[in-house]
Amino acid sequence: MSKTDRSFKRVVLKLSGEALRESGSQDNISPEIVERIACEIKAAHSTGMEIAIVVGGGNFWRGASASARGMDRATADYVGMLATVMNALAVQSALEAEGVPCIVQSAIEMKNVAEPFIRRKASRQLKEGRVVVFAAGTGSPFFSTDTTAALRASEMGADAILKATMVDGVYDADPKKNPEAKRFNKVSFQTCIVEQLKVMDSTAFTLCMDNDIPIIVFDLNVHGNITKAIVGQDIGTIVSKDSDEV
């Protein structure tokens, strides 16, 4: 399979914690939004796609922000990891309500609510048709959930990372500030690095580049886009080693 096509068998879907929160609401998690995401994942899962999910915790907590306000950075990051577990359990509940078999694996052991992360077991569960939600980040401070997605995708042998964002792809400038910003259909890792395009943090980017794992960046807010991205339809921007800028 060419790394610039979209014939995926196994993918890692990266969801931000903010994606689970309704704009302007005081609720950290919107059951309606989580249900909508679960329905879209169900549609893709029904095609036989193997789906893993990494979810952030930013709707509850951001370790870097807490550290900037004086909290010990490692402690702040551990709090953020626990926030991702809450989100993972919410996603699991919504998927199971839709009849999709799902398991949560946590990088921090908490046996009453989640299985511990075991690479070979997670891979087997994906092959058996379960959706696997990876929680608690990497289990170590100083790493983002973007890096978790890149690491788990590498460990699982995923064909791609699908990054759900608030914009419809990768631009050469901030489209919210510059109406003339150009959106790429395809762009190389090298271009993203040189031009400092905001796709993932540098550690995550390096993992994806070293392991030749393309990243699909797409708009989460458009209903149906999660299903389209997972099944390989041509939406958003594909970032890969061999992409010519288009």
| HEC sequence for the chain | CCCCCCCCCEEEEEECHHHHCCCCCCCCCCHHHHHHHHHHHHHHHCCCCEEEEEECCCCCCCHHHHHHCCCCHHHHHHHHHHHHHHHHHHHHHHHHHCCCCEEEEECCCCCCCCEECCHHHHHHHHHCCCEEEEECCCCCCCCCHHHHHHHHHHHHCCCEEEEEECCCCEECCCCCCCCCCCEECEEEHHHHHHCCCCCCCHHHHHHHHHCCCCEEEEECCCCCHHHHHHHCCCCCEEEECCCCCC
pLDDT confidence of residue 197: 87
CATH (one of 3.40.1160.10, 3.30.540.10, 1.10.8.80, 3.20.20.80) for 10-240: 3.40.1160.10
> Is the pLDDT score of 176 beyond 60?
yes
Tell whether residue 140 is among the known ligand binding residues.
yes
Tell whether residue 175 is among the known ligand binding residues.
no
**Mean pLDDT for the chain overall:** 92
Tell whether residue 148 is among the known ligand binding residues.
no
Tell whether residue 99 is among the known ligand binding residues.
no
Tell whether residue 137 is among the known ligand binding residues.
no
**pTM of the shown model:** 0.93
Higher pLDDT residue, 2 or 77? 77
Residue 105, token pair as written in the block: 């694996």
Query: Over the stretch 94-117, which tens digit does the pLDDT of each residue have?
Result: 999 999 999 999 999 999 999 999
Tell whether residue 144 is among the known ligand binding residues.
yes
Query: Over the stretch 207-220, which tens digit does the pLDDT of each residue have?
Result: 999 999 999 999 99
Residue 35, token pair as written in the block: 């249900």
Tell whether residue 57 is among the known ligand binding residues.
yes
Tell whether residue 24 is among the known ligand binding residues.
no
Q: How many CB atoms are closer than 10 A to CB 189?
A: 21
Tell whether residue 134 is among the known ligand binding residues.
no
Closest to 19 (Cα-Cα) out of 196, 219, 228: 219
- Are 52 and 122 spatial neighbours (Cβ–Cβ below 8 Å)? yes
Q: What is the mean pLDDT of residues 62-78?
A: 90
Tell whether residue 142 is among the known ligand binding residues.
yes
Whole-angstrom Cα distance, residue 8 to residue 231?
7
pLDDT confidence of residue 7: 81
Tell whether residue 77 is among the known ligand binding residues.
yes
Tell whether residue 138 is among the known ligand binding residues.
yes
Whole-angstrom Cα distance, residue 63 to residue 31?
24
Residue listed under structure tokens 């609720």: 27
Closest to 21 (Cα-Cα) out of 63, 52, 62: 62
Angle value at C-alpha 197, between 196 and 203, nearest 5 degrees? 70
Tell whether residue 58 is among the known ligand binding residues.
yes
